[in-house]
Amino acid sequence: MGTGEPFDALMAMLDPSMLVVTAAAGGERGGCLVGFHAQSSIAPGRYTVWLSKANHTYRLALRATHLGLHFLDRDASALAERFGTLTGDEVDKFAGLMVRAGPGGAPELPTCRHRMLSRRIALLDEGGDHVCVVTEPVAVTADGPLTPLRLSAVAHLRPGHPAAERPHPATARADHPGRR
């Protein structure tokens, strides 16, 4: 079956919550807005995110040992816009934000009241435009109630990189034009 109008319509009805994923490696840091994520195991606890191959954050996550997962409340639209529309290939998305280094150097945004710092334990690249990253939580903060920021609230944002801008072949990284 695959993608197409019925698939797209069904996915749009799900209206997933949004989070910001952060990573650091080799003296660089990055972060991106993510709508593909889910708990993927109860025991042991696992959380999975899917990162676009077009993103600077994805390339950092390939080398990072840990990721920061920042669950956005509905009032965090400015943070969603920053991490969803800018590209780390051109700007420092963290400029002007409070940031601290978490486990493995993962950038932690302490102003996000709901966050998880996780160790990267597995990657799955099945050839699509996103790669599945399985993580193991190492530090979790859940400060008060969470009313998630949903995809429908940020659907108007224009991504820093369109999905079609991924390297070809889909698994190529370093030699992609315009990439560091």
82-108, pLDDT tens digit by residue? 999 888 888 899 999 999 999 999 999
180 domain-assigned? no
Q: How far apart are CA 175 and CA 99, in angstroms?
A: 31
Helices (H) and strands (E) in the chain, counts: 4, 9
Name beta bridge partners: 63. Answer: none
54 domain-assigned? yes
Name beta bridge partners: 160. Answer: none
pTM for the full predicted model: 0.85
Taking all residues of the chain, what is their mean pLDDT, rounded to a whole number?
Answer: 88
Q: What angle do CA 35, 161, 13 make, to 5 degrees?
A: 30
179 domain-assigned? no
176 domain-assigned? no
Q: Is the model's pLDDT at 134 over the cut of 50?
A: yes
The pLDDT-based confidence of 170 (bands split at 50, 70, 90) is very low
1 domain-assigned? no
34 three-state secondary structure: strand
53-79, pLDDT tens digit by residue? 988 999 999 999 999 999 999 999 999
DSSP 8-state class, residue 98? -
Q: How far apart are CA 111 and CA 166, in angstroms?
A: 31
User: Which residue range forms the structural domain that includes residue 86?
Assistant: 15-165
| Domain harbouring 92, CATH code | 2.30.110.10
171 domain-assigned? no
Q: How far apart are CA 172 and CA 157, in angstroms?
A: 27
Percent of the chain with pLDDT over 70: 87
174 domain-assigned? no
Tokens linked to 175: 């030699």
Pairing of strands 46-52, 130-142: antiparallel
- The total number of structural domains that make up the chain: 1
Question: Which residues, at least 6 apart from 125, have a Cβ–Cβ distance to it below 8 Å?
Answer: 131, 132, 170, 171
Q: Is the model's pLDDT at 35 over the cut of 60?
A: yes
CB 18 within 8 A of CB 73: no
177 domain-assigned? no
